Structure 1
Amino acid sequence: MPTVKAEEAEDEPEDLVDPQETLRDHCREQKSCVALKEKLDECNDRVNSRSKTTEMCSEELFDFMHCVDGCAAKRLFSFLK
């Protein structure tokens, strides 16, 4: 009976970690991206404090995501097999 359990353990996939998400998490903490995150947070606070506004913070979001993705892209391919 122990061999069946060993076989079942081999069949279970191990938890994989997406290297892109790991790199993005690291890049969100980089100095240049942190500054853009602060601008995005300020914009979101400003928008959320108003009841009637057409402001959307799209530019701040795109700038922040561009920074994070650009930082992650520099090292991403070194993690691929």
Structure 2
Amino acid sequence: MTKIHIWLALILTILLVAPLNWYFSNTSLFLVIIGIITKFCLYFLGILVMIRLLQYLKDRASYEKQLLEHLKELKSAIDRQKK
């Protein structure tokens, strides 16, 4: 996890949570603050997990491509030895 991923998750979380918070005069300010903190934490963790999953899938695809290239090289080397 790099700083860029954390900042990206933080910015996306703020953009998601901030417009969803409405303060009504009959609602306790304490409950509003607790709700904001809860939403912020859940969205932040969810976005971080999503970014990490995307990074994992990208790395896995790259690893599989390298593995296929090595297998092709190995097959061509075996074919050359047979001839």
TM bracket, shorter-chain basis: 0.3 to 0.5
**TM-score normalised by the chain length of structure 2:** 0.35
**TM-score normalised by the chain length of structure 1:** 0.36
